[in-house]
Amino acid sequence: MKRLAFILIGLLAVLLLLATGCTAPALPAPGEEVGTCVICHSDKDLLKETASPVEEEISEETSGEG
Amino acid sequence: MEVWQKVFLKDADFVQSTHGKVGCVICHGGDSRAEDKDISHVGLVADPSEANCNTCHQDIAHVNETSIHTTLSGFKSVLEARGGNLEEGSPLATAFENHCQSCHTSCGQCHVSRPDELGGGLVSSHEFRQTPSTQYNCVACHGARVGAEYLGENEGIPGDIHWTLATMTCTDCHGQELHGSGQRMAIRYQNPDSIKCDDCHEDIWTDVTSNPQHEQHLGDLSCQVCHSLAYKNCYGCHVSIDEEGIPCRTSAPSEMHFEIGHNPLRSSERPFEYVVLRHVPSCLGTCDYYGDDLLPDFNELPTWKYATPHNIQLHTPQNESCNSCHGNEDIFLTEDDVSEDEKEANSEVIVKDVPTPQ
């Protein structure tokens, strides 16, 4: 009897969580999110404005051909 | 290439392609719903090649796992043959990690963007190019020697006839071999799919009567012995870490030479007695910064290596006449051409008796 009660309580808890939307947000379906990325990455001015400078790690002591 | 250019999509056609329809986040991660740049790029994977390409391109990706482009087994096999210890944490492994590992390439660094070694950057929007760009991919890494030879960038030496007459690109000759053979190879010439001149020029075997030099020398000389010109040789490479902690290297000025020597890779596939030899950058003290005597068996391999220069011509100074080669010490690698500390390493390839004049 006790075991049955535990199972019922557990099931109720799960149902409650589902009903209140307490689940992981669904990932966008393949392809759905393309637009968002492409909007920024095809905007030349925006990219120029927001680009973070990357310091290239080339030693000044390097010389000759590799 | 400016930072913004590296990730700029010049046109959005890519979105309609097979790869485009997969979506960005599936391969690159990040959060496409965030409007803030920093948040949207959290967890971003700039080069997702290794984890994703094999989902669809399993066959090629599987073979490619063994390619020299992926494993750098060409470097490793030489270091190990010279007695180097590449076990994790060893001084030589650290040197390898600091100076050699960056030559590794991935699927994307050939088919989508420029190699990381050159700072990356999309080649043509986000287009997946089945054929890598000669300029932005192949020559980007292989530019100092092979690329410059092929394109005729060495002063006074014309470009390869396959380029100047036929505008052939790298992939016109080098195809699936670039993905390896499926088996780990010590050197690229071990790949059975490695391109050879007679794969196209079959007639040199059947039409020998019209060319007495072919009749005389086919099988004894590699094609380059008669058909290539002077090429770049590098010397004295030393690797270290500078005061700011950045890996650096120095090498002696390169020199243009043409040297015929004995074949260090003689096999049924490459049975030639004489081949063209190129001096590799490494020397006895290349890794001295990382420890003493890290290559205790340095002399096990020659520093003048089997070479296939990419400046092929129909007519060359050495194929003008028999005695352009016979008796001409200048074009053979003799004792005088080899530094004292490398004589033992090259003893098998040095020509001691130059063929006598005819």
DSSP symbols for B192-241: TT---GGGT-THHHH-GGG-HHHHHHBTTB-HHHHH---EEEEEEEEEEE
Q: Does A24 touch chain B (CB under 8 A)?
A: no
Q: How far apart are CA B37 and CA A20, in angstroms?
A: 31
Helix ranges (H only) for chain B are 3-6, 18-22, 24-28, 37-40, 49-56, 58-64, 68-71, 73-81, 91-99, 107-111, 139-141, 148-151, 161-164, 170-173, 203-206, 212-217, 223-227, 322-325
In chain B, count of helices (H) and strands (E)?
18, 5
Contact B149, B254 (CB under 8 A): no
Q: How far is B102 from chain A (nearest CA, A)?
A: 12
Q: Tokens standing for A19?
A: 């009903």
User: pTM (2 decimals)?
Assistant: 0.87
In one letter, which amino acid is B227? H
Contacts of B106 (CB under 8 A, 6+ apart): B47, B49, B50, B70
Pairing of strands B231-241, B260-262: unpaired
Pick the closest to residue B204 from B190, B189, B192, B217 (CA basis). B217
Confirm if B350 and B335 have CB atoms less than 8 A apart. Answer: yes
Q: Which of A32, A54, A59 to mutate to test the interface with B (most CBs of B within 10 A)?
A: A59
User: Measured between alpha carbons, how far is residue A39 from residues A30, A34, B66 in Å?
Assistant: 17, 9, 38
The residues that bridge with B102 in the sheet, in sequence order, are none
What is the pLDDT, as a whole number, of residue B248?
Answer: 93
Q: Contact B325/B351 with Cβ under 8 angstroms?
A: no
pLDDT in tens, chain B (358 residues): 899 999 999 887 888 889 988 889 989 999 988 889 999 999 999 999 877 898 899 999 999 999 999 999 999 999 999 999 999 999 999 999 999 998 889 999 999 999 988 889 999 999 999 999 999 999 999 999 999 999 999 999 999 999 999 999 999 999 999 999 999 899 999 998 899 999 999 888 887 778 888 988 988 999 999 999 999 999 999 999 999 999 999 999 999 999 999 999 999 989 999 999 999 999 999 999 999 999 999 999 999 999 999 999 999 999 999 999 999 999 999 999 999 999 999 999 999 999 999 8
B10: chain A residues, CB-CB within 8 Å:
42
Tell me how far apart the alpha carbons of residues B169 and B164 are, in angstroms, rounded to a whole number. 11
Instruction: Collect all residues of chain B within an 8 Å Cβ-Cβ radius of residue A60.
Output: 242, 248
Work out how many CB contacts closer than 8 A connect A with B.
104
Tell which residue, B230, B353, B236, has the closest CA to residue A66. Answer: B236
Distance CA B164, CA B229 (A): 15
Residue-wise pLDDT tens digits, A2-55: 676 667 676 666 666 555 555 444 445 555 556 688 889 999 999 999 998 877
A18 touches chain B (CB under 8 A): no
Which residues on neighbouring strands pair with residue B332, listed in sequence order?
A: B260
Please tell me the distance in Å from B331's CA to the nearest CA on chain A: 24
Q: Which of helix, strand or coil describes residue B249?
A: strand
Is residue B28 within 8 Å of B45, Cβ to Cβ? yes
User: Which candidate, B228, B222, B221, places its Cα nearest to that of B152?
Assistant: B228
CB contact under 8 A, A56 and B3: no
Q: Of B3, B22, B24, which has the smallest distance from its Cβ to A37's Cβ?
A: B24
Q: What is the CA radius of gyration of chain B?
A: 23
Count of C-beta atoms within a 10 Å radius of residue B104: 16
Residue positions counted in chain A: 66
- Mean pLDDT over all residues of chain A? 71
Query: What are the residues facing B231 on neighbouring strands?
Result: B257
Nearest to B22 among A31, A53, A63 (CB): A31
Distance set, CA B183 to CA B62, B73, B86 (Å): 10, 11, 20
Cross-chain residue pair B237–A66, CB shorter than 8 Å: yes
C-alpha–C-alpha distance, residues B336 and B115, integer Å: 39
Q: Which residues contact B160 (CB under 8 A, 6 or more apart)?
A: B149, B150, B151, B152, B310, B311, B312, B313
Query: What Cα–Cα distance (Å) separates residue B349 from each residue in B173, B178, B283, B337?
Result: 28, 28, 17, 12
Distance of alpha carbon A66 from alpha carbon B235, whole angstroms = 10
- Whole-number Å distance between alpha carbons of B324 and A35: 66
Q: What is the pLDDT of residue A66?
A: 59
